[in-house]
Amino acid sequence: MYQKRLEFEASEKGKEEQEKYRSTPPWSWRPAVPITEVTNQPPAFEWVPSFDVDKFGRISVLKCTSWRVEEYTLELAECVVGLQSFTDKHLFSCSGTIVEFLKGVGCVVTSASLVKLPHQDEIADKLKVNVCLPSGETLEGSVSNVDFCYNICVVHVRSTSQLPAKRFSADTTFFNFDDCHSKDVVALGRLCKRWSLNVASGKLTPRRSQFDCEELLVSSCRISKRGVGGPLMDFDGNIIGMNFYDKKETPFVPGFIVLKCLQHFNDFGRVIRPLHGLRVKTLHEEQLTVLEKIHLVFPGVCGVIVEKVQVPSPEHSEIKAGDSGVMVDKVYIFSVALLTYIDV
């Protein structure tokens, strides 16, 4: 573009324009290239949700927030690592969070996409995992536990030096949309190279993800696939979730569910799911036309909607010998009004 401008100024028309404006203020004015002469203009900022995009958000994404939020982000960044998996070729790259370091072994929580075969809920054979620390040091990791339903994976990594760690928050009040507190959040991720922290800010959205997992929520943070498995932080420095990826939104699994999965991994070696047979969703996820009908019958009501009641088939049941619990043999509809409420 600079060359085009020089060529225009050297042309007869350009000299005429310069002579015309030289005698009028401002005398420092320099004629620009006509818009018709400008080609290959740099495009405006646009989010490109591609696997090949290494960065997400903007460099100054947190400069509109307080220094306290930036400080919380930098503190959490010490626990965020880059991850790569290989078989005979590169399999997947994503991010993860060190949640524990005990007796020389770090526990990294990330997405199960790191270890599974493409389009299959199976761990790849002859799998190798590299864990990249913020300093650029690369350590070898080993897969400890995987749950494909919640898409959670635990990777253990040995280190001779102390690794910073931070646990997910068990607090559920952040997801209460009846409260008028801030829903601002920050998504963090890391590439597998030195000092490669990526951040994106956004807000918690009161609706459920379009993915199959019913417990996934949504934020407006814009990330790339490199941010999958990275933490989602509130503006108080708490890890409230683990991020996944979608083209139009950023789904995440809440932190209290991640903690439950980690507890089940320690206690049972797998995630045990309750077989209550109820499929529910929060009222905040419904459209206003539906909420209007509900509000007419139950003004001021809050809670969940029972979408479906089903009994799992024996072949899909996870009940094992020795398991204990309770059985629901019937679900009662107490009134016609409640029936109307469920059928809206």
Domains of the chain: 67-158 (2.40.10.10), 173-263 (2.40.10.10), 278-343 (no CATH)
Across the strands, what pairs with 304? 282
Sign of CA dihedral 34, 36, 41, 44: positive
Residue entry with tokens 């809440």: 254
pLDDT, residue 107, reads: 98
Answer whether 235's CB lies under 8 Å from 186's CB. yes
Answer whether 305's CB lies under 8 Å from 286's CB. yes
pLDDT, residue 26, reads: 44
Sign of CA dihedral 151, 152, 157, 162: positive
Answer whether 229's CB lies under 8 Å from 121's CB. no
Distance (Å) of CA 187 to CA 107, 140, 145, 218: 20, 25, 24, 12
Whole-model pTM: value is 0.67
pLDDT, residue 278, reads: 56
pLDDT, residue 166, reads: 97
Question: How many other CB atoms are there within 10 angstroms of residue 65's CB atom?
Answer: 15
Distance (Å) of CA 65 to CA 181, 236, 255: 16, 12, 23
Answer whether 156's CB lies under 8 Å from 118's CB. no
Sign of CA dihedral 53, 55, 60, 63: positive
pLDDT, residue 251, reads: 93
Output the six-digit token pair for 283.
Answer: 């009222």
pLDDT, residue 206, reads: 74
Output the six-digit token pair for 151.
Answer: 């898409």
Cα 206-54-227 angle, rounded to 5 deg: 35
| Dihedral angle of Cα 314, 320, 326, 328, to the nearest 10 degrees | -10
Residues listed for the chain:
344
pLDDT, residue 340, reads: 39
The one-digit pLDDT tens for each residue of the chain (344 residues) are: 546 666 766 777 777 766 665 554 444 444 454 545 444 444 443 333 334 444 576 555 676 678 899 999 999 999 999 999 999 899 999 999 999 999 999 999 999 999 998 888 899 999 999 999 999 999 999 999 999 989 999 999 999 999 999 999 999 888 876 666 668 999 999 999 898 999 999 999 877 666 666 788 899 898 999 999 999 999 999 999 999 998 878 999 999 999 999 999 999 999 987 655 555 566 666 667 777 777 787 777 666 666 666 655 555 455 555 554 445 455 444 333 333 334 43
